[in-house]
Structure 1
Amino acid sequence: MALESFKAQISLLLEEMVNQPEDQHEIQEQLREKLREMRAMGLPLP
């Protein structure tokens, strides 16, 4: 369940990057944080 939740959150962040390019840097930082969380939990990265 955690993996699917992370995938959904990452998908939403990527959509935001496309729809709101002016916030790209902030969204990129959020994406990096999600990937760090996944690594910490031992989940495979997408």
Structure 2
Amino acid sequence: MAFEDLKAELALLINQMENQPEDSHELYMQVREKLNEMRAFGMPLPEDLVRLEEELEASFAAEQETKKG
């Protein structure tokens, strides 16, 4: 997949995330998948999306900890 195609897909995912916060887990997984594709191809990663991925992952991990205890 071309770099420009990946960038366009990521932009679409971000837009969906902003418009449909109830699906944040699914969108997080899609963002993560696209970033992993970019990593696999050795493409540069947009810092803001990497930061978003990390923040969402931390948020979901905190959610899980709250449910456990």
Runs of 4+ in structure 1 over 3 Å off: none
Larger Cα-atom Rg: 2
Structure 2 counterpart of 1:37: 37
**What percentage of aligned pairs have identical amino acids?**
61
- Once the two structures are superposed, residues 11-46 of structure 1 have per-residue CA deviations (whole angstroms, 9 ceiling, x without a partner) of 000000000010011001100000000000111111
What is the rounded CA distance, in whole Å, between the counterparts of 2:28 and 2:11 in structure 1? 12
Which structure has the higher relative contact order (CA within 8 Å, separation 6+)? Answer: 1
What is the rounded CA distance, in whole Å, between the counterparts of 1:40 and 1:27 in structure 2? 20
> Normalising by the residue count of structure 1, what TM-score does the alignment of the two structures yield?
0.92
RMSD: 1.2
What is the rounded CA distance, in whole Å, between the counterparts of 1:44 and 1:6 in structure 2? 11
Count of residue pairs the alignment pairs up: 46
The residue type paired with residue 45 of structure 1 is: L
Give unpaired runs (5+ residues) of structure 1. none
